[in-house]
Amino acid sequence: MTTTTAPSPVLEATGVTMRFGGLTAVRDVDLTVNAGEIVGLIGPNGAGKTTFFNCLTGLYVPTEGKVAYKGTVLPPKPHLVTSAGIARTFQNIRLFANMTVLENVLVGRHTRTKEGLWSALLRGPGFRKAEAASRERAMELLEFIGLAHKADHLSRNLPYGEQRKLEIARAMASEPGLLLLDEPTAGMNPQETRATEELVFAIRDRGIAVLVIEHDMRFIFNLSDRVACLVQGQKLVEGTSDVVQGDERVIAAYLGTPFEGAPGDEEVAEVEAAEAAGTAAATPAEPEAAATPAEDAPEAPAAEDAEETPAAEDGTDTDDAPAAEEASEAPEAADETEDATASDASDAQGSTTKEGNAQ
């Protein structure tokens, strides 16, 4: 069990909804993370997990709903969210490739340093003292994640797993009270995944609450005090790992098996009715084949399924090897999504800078 302290909420998201034109990517989601907790957020690809993170961190302005940190409602601006105490990592790694490992962590400290532009240009005693303190703290964080020996390496030369860890150190450099991790083990091998699990426990033990998105079910259920499952933008289930793990609706959602009252059911029924009315007589065979890929899929569609729903196997498989294989395949597809969201976010916000993104 965990070393949960008082059940005081660190994060309270209430009725968060995000629409993109006609698409509702996140629908009326409530989620609380208490001090001392590790909360997992799961859901099939495209369920709205990253979009929800983007709403929490001000990258997106939610269409509806509010986000409060330690009782104060946050304005949807990334730099204000970061300075309030929420830090994050990205599904698609966003390091400064040509900076050193240490410099990347120092960038993460910018919200916690008070020295202004003139102080930096003049490099007065106040600035030098603050800079030394920042470097010391950054080195301490590198020590913590096990990368101190690579402080002077360019971040682009780090192996993938270490880049993910560096992102965590950079996020921690802003001294957050809540850390949001978007697929921290994507692309990692089983050993790295296990080490990341330990790292997240250690982060929580430092007094930082954690909300983590992952497709690796073993990782998420080992780690989390509570798990929430998003499906088609809606929170389908929330509970302890045991409860969520055994919930048939969660399993069905991952396997793509329909179940009564599933989110999106009504829309699917409407579309099917419209299609049936328009094309029933003409082409009955194809839609049927497409509607049942999981049960009797021929070989080619099965490969497609594997790419698009990497969590499907994770959800039912306790073996490491398939999960690792999945993970190594996932980032590319995932990266594309994240790239799209990131650039869209920048477009939408105009002022979203790389540093803002690197919060």
DSSP state letter for 187: T
Q: How far is the CB of 211 from ligand ATP (least distance, A)?
A: 13
Q: Is 184 in the site for ligand ATP (CB under 6 A)?
A: no
Residue of 10, 38, 42, 47 interacting with ligand ATP (CB under 6 A): 47
Segment contacting ligand ATP by CB under 6 A, of 103-111, 159-167, 220-228, 336-344: 336-344
Residue of 50, 163, 174, 359 interacting with Mg ion (CB under 5 A): 50
- Which residues lie across from 32 on neighbouring strands? 12
Reading the block at residue 275, the tokens are 């299609």
Q: What's the number of CA atoms in the CB half-sphere (13 Å) around residue 45?
A: 22
Q: Is 193 in the site for Mg ion (CB under 5 A)?
A: no
Q: Is 308 in the site for ligand ATP (CB under 6 A)?
A: no
Sequence-separated (6 or more) residues with CB below 8 Å from residue 274:
none
Q: Is 45 in the site for ligand ATP (CB under 6 A)?
A: yes
From 37, 43, 46, 35, select the one nearest 9 (Cα to Cα): 35
How many residues in the shown chain lie near ligand ATP by CB under 6 A? Answer: 16
Alpha carbon distance 173, 302 (integer Å):
43
Alpha carbon distance 5, 15 (integer Å):
26
**String marking each residue 255-294 x if it binds ligand ATP according to CB under 6 A:** ----------------------------------------
For residue 323, count other CB atoms closer than 10 A to its CB. 24
Segment contacting ligand ATP by CB under 6 A, of 41-49, 64-72, 95-103, 253-261: 41-49
Minimum CB distance to ligand ATP smaller for 40 or for 85: 40
Residue of 105, 334, 352, 359 interacting with ligand ATP (CB under 6 A): 334
Alpha carbon distance 201, 195 (integer Å):
10
Q: How far is the CB of 44 from ligand ATP (least distance, A)?
A: 7
Q: How far is the CB of 48 from Mg ion (least distance, A)?
A: 8
68-87 residues near ligand ATP, rule: CB under 6 A: none
Alpha carbon distance 10, 39 (integer Å):
12
Q: Is 46 in the site for ligand ATP (CB under 6 A)?
A: yes
What are the b/e assignments for 138-168, b being 16+ CB within 10 Å?
beebbebbebbebbeebbeebeebbbbbbbb
Reading the block at residue 187, the tokens are 């692309």
Residues that bind ligand ATP (CB under 6 A): 20, 23, 25, 43, 45-51, 91, 334, 337, 341, 344
